[in-house]
Structure 1
Amino acid sequence: KVVLPDNIATKENIVGVVNKALHLMTDYVAEVVTKLYTENPPQKSPNPASEISDEQIEKIAQKAADKAVNKRYEKLDATADTAMHRIYNLVNGAVWAAIPKWSYIIFIIAVLAAGGFGYGFFYQLNENSKLKDVEWLYRYERLWWEGKQQEDLLRREKIFAVGTQHEQDSIKNRTRQLEKSRHIEETFLYFNPTEK
């Protein structure tokens, strides 16, 4: 059960505030127009037929004031409707409807980003684990190389560690040729070799 405090805004409060603001706005616009007219009276026209009467000036001022008030009223009315809609949803338990729509978008983006980062993290962790296994296999196998073979192995290690891209590609191409000539490329059972 939702219990609301006594000082929460009601529709009557909001309508009262809007009406008071409109009344003050109308009075203010009328005062400004009157002040401008009294401080800067219109110049007497040499042609009496083209003179504007006080009544016409009052009508023009009233129309300008009414337009300003109407625009202000529309904005205040829209704000009051939004506030009433949210208060109604909170009172009637529809909390989800009171939350702005942009916050849903931000929440969805955050969840998708977190999911993407999580997937990427675990994928990279898995790849790293496979590389460590291959590293240990290589370290074990290189123990059995001796003499000239070991010198060739150390030379190839140096090329892959600090050699040029051309030297590395040359060894990769030679490796592919040897695998194909010995039909070793068909025997990869526990990992898929990269072609990069």
Structure 2
Amino acid sequence: MNQRIWSSLTFTLLTTAIGTTPSHAEPIEAVNQSFEAVTSVAGVQQMPATATPISVQYSALSDVDKRADKPKVGQRTPIPLKQTRSQMRGIASWYGPGLHGRRSASGERFNQHAMTAAHRSLPFGTHVRVTNLNNGRSVVVRINDRGPFTRGRVIDLSAAAAGALRMKQAGTAPVQVEIVRAK
């Protein structure tokens, strides 16, 4: 029996068993309805061998579908700057040689020689100033990728940006990140 027919039959059995078509304005519950009530539905001669007692409780959604505001898979959803902090501190890391020339999360090809960075939530195209708190050096980078994916890190810099901050050899450094220009 295909899924559509089974769903329709289940609803018909439920509404017949409770004696009325359910109102969507209030919850209903139907548990262990009698064999006679179920088989009284037109066209049903016997209970299916795999039949089990049903328990259904539902209520209608409000007039507005609550899922309408959720983004679809693959949909680009810019994050308004009012939802992000304009300044943050944490650990920066860098990446480059193994990913050079591959597509970044923004769709552009990653260039380890460009002043770019990966951030978890800032909109692509946002420019941020990253300051190495160990030596005071700073650089402005453009967000074009997502990351870092290591807990405790706030930004992943391209090899060029890490070199300008003099942090390539160490691999990581404490930094301050501040938004310079939002996309």
Q: TM-score, with normalisation over the residues of structure 2? A: 0.22
| The structure with more radius of gyration | 1
Q: TM-score, with normalisation over the residues of structure 1? A: 0.21
- Higher-strand-fraction structure: 2
Higher relative contact order (CA 8 A, sep 6+): 2
- Higher-helix-fraction structure: 1
